[in-house]
Amino acid sequence: MSPAESAETAAQQLSGEKLFYLIALAIVVIGAAMTLLFGLPGLAMTALALVPVAYALLILISVGK
C-alpha cells in the first residue's frame, strides 16, 4: 500500500464517533486551561457560557431530534 493510500484510509477512519471524542477532549482541555489560568472565575465563566448550550440541547431532546 502506498503512502497516499494509507493517508486516505486514515482520513476515512475518522468517523463521527472519533470526531465527537476529539471535540469533547478539546472542550475539556480548554476548560482545564481556563481554570488553571484564571482560577475560579475562569471556571465560572465557562459554566455560564455553556448554560445556553445545555438549554438548547434539552429543548432538542424534548422535541425528539
pLDDT in tens, 35-61: 999 999 988 988 898 899 999 999 999
**What range does the domain containing 28 cover?**
3-63
d(CA 16, CA 23): 10
Q: Which helix (H) or strand (E) holds 59?
A: helix 40-63
Q: Is the model's pLDDT at 30 over the cut of 80?
A: yes
pTM of the entire structure?
0.57
d(CA 59, CA 61): 5
Tally the domains of the chain. Answer: 1
